[in-house]
Amino acid sequence: MISNAPLIPTDPSERFAIIFRALQKSVADNGHRLKIHGPLLVLIGNYLSTLIARFAKIAARPPQSPRTRKTAAREPAPKPKPVLTLPRGFAWLIRLLPNSPAGPIVAGAHARLELQHFMEDPTLQALLATHPSLGRILRPLHTMLGLRHPPAIKRPKSTKPRPTRPRTPKCAPDVRANYNINPDSRIAFTPAQHHNTRVPPWHQPVIPSCNIKKIGRQGP
C-alpha cells in the first residue's frame, strides 16, 4: 500500500524553508481578506524570506563554537530609523492572522505546530549544538508565533557584573541638622557660619509685599 502523505525532508534547511514559505504564502493570500495594511504584508513577506536565506547560509557553514570564536569590539554605526517596522510583542502574528472557520484557514497556527515538531528533530538539535548562531533566527520566530524559547536556543547568561548605580536618598537631607537651634527656636550661629554660610531661606524674616502703614491710614 502506497501512502499519499508528504515526505518530511531530512535536511533542516529544507524543512525550515517549507514551513515558513507556506506561512509566507498564507499571509500573502489572506492579507487582503483580513484587511491588513499592504506595506505591512510586504514587510512580513520580506522578513520571512530573509530568515529562510539566513538559516540556509548559517547551516551551510562549518561547525564553530562561541567559546573559540573571537570578534573584535567595534562601535555599531548609527542606522536610520525605518518608517515602517514589524509589530512587537508575544504572538503578534497569531493575533494578526486569526484562523477563520468560514474562510480559508490561515497557516499561523499550523506554522506554530510545525515549528514545535521541527525543534524536537534530533537532526536540528545536533545542528544547533554546532551552529549556536541559529538561535538568533529561531528566537524571534518563537516569539512571533507565541512559543516560549526552548533550552536549546535560550540566550546564555551574561557573566559580566552589572554596574552598580548610586542610589538617591528617598528624602532630601535635613538642612537644620547643620545648625544649633536654641529652645526659643533661634539659631546659634558659629563664627564660621556667620561669615561663610548664608542664612537658610526658612530662617529669613518675612517681608510683606505691600505697605501695611499705608493700608492702615486709609479709611473706609
pLDDT in tens, 95-138: 887 655 444 455 678 889 999 999 999 999 999 999 999 999 99
| pLDDT reported for residue 74 | 61
| pLDDT reported for residue 2 | 47
In whole angstroms, what is the distance from residue 132 CA to residue 49 CA? 21
| pLDDT reported for residue 175 | 59
| pLDDT reported for residue 144 | 92
Three-state DSSP class for 3?
A: coil
- Give the cell for residue 196: 561663610
Our CA angle for 130, 131, 133, nearest 5°, is 150
The pLDDT of 193-198, averaged and rounded, is 58
| pLDDT reported for residue 104 | 45
**Span of 106-110, 164-168, 202-206 with lowest mean pLDDT:** 202-206
Decide which of 216 and 154 is more confident: 154
pLDDT digits (tens, 9 = 90+) for 38-65: 888 899 999 999 999 999 999 999 887 5
Half-sphere exposure of 99 (CA within 13 A, CB side): 8
Segment (H or E) for 24? helix 12-30
Phi/psi class of residue 201: alpha, beta or left (left: φ > 0; alpha: ψ in -120 to 50)? alpha
| pLDDT reported for residue 102 | 42
Is the pLDDT confidence value at 202 over 70? no
| pLDDT reported for residue 6 | 58
In whole angstroms, what is the distance from residue 43 CA to residue 139 CA? 19
Residues 153 and 142 sit within 8 Å (Cβ to Cβ): yes
- With 0-12 CB in 10 A as exposed, 13-18 as middle and 19+ as buried, what is 58? middle
Residues 141 and 168 sit within 8 Å (Cβ to Cβ): no
Residues 24 and 51 sit within 8 Å (Cβ to Cβ): no
The pLDDT of 59-87, averaged and rounded, is 68
Our CA angle for 117, 131, 151, nearest 5°, is 50
Three-state DSSP class for 156?
A: coil
pLDDT digits (tens, 9 = 90+) for 5-51: 457 788 999 999 999 999 998 888 888 777 888 888 899 999 999 99
